[in-house]
A and B are shown apart, each in its own frame.
Chain A
Amino acid sequence: MIVSSALIIWKGLMCITGSESPVVVVLSESMEPGFQRGDILFLQMSKDPIRTGEIVVFNIQGRDIPIVHRVIEVHEQRQSGEVRILTKGDNNDVDDRMLYAQGQFWLKQEHIMGRAVGFLPYVGWATIIMTEKPIIKYILIGALGLLVITSKD
């Protein structure tokens, strides 16, 4: 029951927000002091073009963790409507060109997974702990499984 309702909520959020991954956990300190490690961000993706100042989550080819940074430059081409985006973490001194794939100088709209629209502090620590110390994840799943089996309800 719990598992299915959690799944329904997750999929529902995916539909409402239009993003593949509607909730992300902040993993690095590159957006401090605004976003600390362990906070969670609610994402939304609409067809509106990305503009400067928006906090976006994107994936770089060859890296599996999504990056949450702010857009500092936008160049929108007249003919194609394509946007070229440059990002930078608030707490970093330099922009993200170093992080992009080899030969890539700009991000495009399709690289962006979503815009951050909402924020909850500290809730993401559970995910960080479970990722960094997988044994806790196994213990938790084991305990939950035991509870489900032995529950008389």
Chain B
Amino acid sequence: MTKVGEVLLLLLLPAFVPHTDGTRYSLPGKPTEIKCRSPEKETFTCWWKPGSDGGLPTTYALYYRKEGSDVVHECPDYHTAGKNSCFFNKNDTVIWVSYNITVVATNALGKTYSDPVDIDVVYIVKPHPPEKLEVTVMKDQGWPFLRVSWEPPRKADTRSGWITLIYELRVKLEEEESEWENHVAGQQKMFNIFSLRSGGTYLIQVRCKPDHGFWSEWSSTSYVKVPECKTSSVWILILVFSAFILLILIWLIHMNSHSLKHCMLPPVPGPKIKGFDKQLLKSGKSDEVFSALVVSDFPPTTSNYEDLLVEYLEVYVPEQQELMVDEGKDHDGCLKSIGSASDSDSGRGSCDSDNLLMDKSGAAKEEQQQQNQEGDQIGTETQGPKEAWEKETMLCANEDVVSPDASSKKVKTWPSVFSPVTPYSPSPLDPHNSLEMHKQNCLSDTQFPPGSPSSDHCIKKALQSSYWEVCFNNNQPYPQTDVHQQLQAHSDRNISAINDGNVPSNLLLPTRMTEYVEVQRLNEENKVLLHPIPSGHSREKACSWVGHRDNYSKVKGVNSDNVLLLQRDVVEEESMEMAGAAESCYTSSIAINTPKPTTCSHIALPVQEERVLAVSGYVDTATMFSLDTYVNEMKPVASKANTV
């Protein structure tokens, strides 16, 4: 009976066991994937993956056996590391010793063993990720870069060398579709990242690995924003602005290109030469060009210079009453006074001048003829009788300013150089000329009534006067020495004529003044006053005194008033024009003193001590300053002369 009862119980036992729907109980599944890791080579943890539980509560157990020992130990700690784990602390951990680990799953039905695993702690090191990740933005010469720094995981003992860690970091822009950029940092705990994008946000992570182990997990992400590059935007603005201004400037220049060209590159003036044909020059035929320049009279093609010379002025000094001057029709030049620059030897005494004059009277004639041959021309003017005389007087008396009216009748503008020289009939005019000259001389010295006895004086005084107008009118260029000689002779003749009463008749005053005369000599007693005649005046115009600081070393000629006209160095081109018939006639007032004071009686006009004339004979313009005083002083004298 009992046996039957046991069998029945056994058969009925499953019936008493509660049934689940469709579940079959089984042994637990085999735990798999046992993985052990050690974070610092001092402890380690093993995890397993449990199998099916078989429908029944299953417990897991880990057993291990050390190398060289058969003792089986069970996991000391199932909880620290979580579920399905086993944690081995320091006491339970040995290195360079193999562990043989087995996990057993147990449920009501049985146990299931996993496959054993042999591990060595030193081979399963996987550290924790680095800690204290810091990222800062730094600047390298204005360019930003990231400086990343971190600390090794807390538990890893790198100080003693127990663990040697190698680090790696990765960077990524906070954008979609951006890739991680990995950098191996080696054993250092700091790393620099360059080539950043301004204004971008970066993500940075770092991990580590022991020299012979597994990589750690990536650390927590660190975010960093790179600041904007402010200077770039500023520079862009500046660039745009300057480009804009540049465009405007270019447009302005383009609009005013024409006027700018005129301003920067003024057109080259063409030649203004009478007879000069630019077209001919362009054509390249130089012969034609130069032939056009050749005027009939200039340059002198003939060697007959004698013809070209100005005719001499015959000056003879009649008596006072006969001092009549015809008003010359030819007012080419002014001749006033007689140049006292007779002697080159300034050392002659004033008293000797008479003797000299006497001696030279004959020589004057010879010179006169010579000069005739030379062809010098001295413009002369003749005037009517008394009227002219008076006018002459007035003219000559006005040292400071020659009245235009008066001078107009006497002064002739300079003719063109190229204009043909009109010969001047000497004969009828000679006496007049001489008279003029004489008159001039007398006039210049107003204190002496014109008279034969005083004529000498007058002349002398005229010579001595500080007022002397000399104009030379020469059509042809001639050596200055000739003029000089002529002048000298002229003066000599005048003087001699005055003294002797015989006037060389053949003295001609040139009608035109074309060239410069170098006044080289003066008698000691002579004072030459040179009136400047303003330029641009016609023949009829008077020579007005112009107090310029000009160089009056050039003698233009002698006008009808026996005044030596010195041409001022023309500043303006126009006065030098040869084409124009009107030439300015300058008479400059220059007080020229001989170096030796005159001892003969004469009007006590202030004598300049200074040597006005240089050795070369050029009138020293420096004396112009002193002229003012003289001129002023001469005024009262002139007034007196008018009364004469």
Do A and B come from the same complex? no
Residues of chain A having any CB pair with chain B under 8 Å: none
Interface residues of B (CB under 8 A from A): none
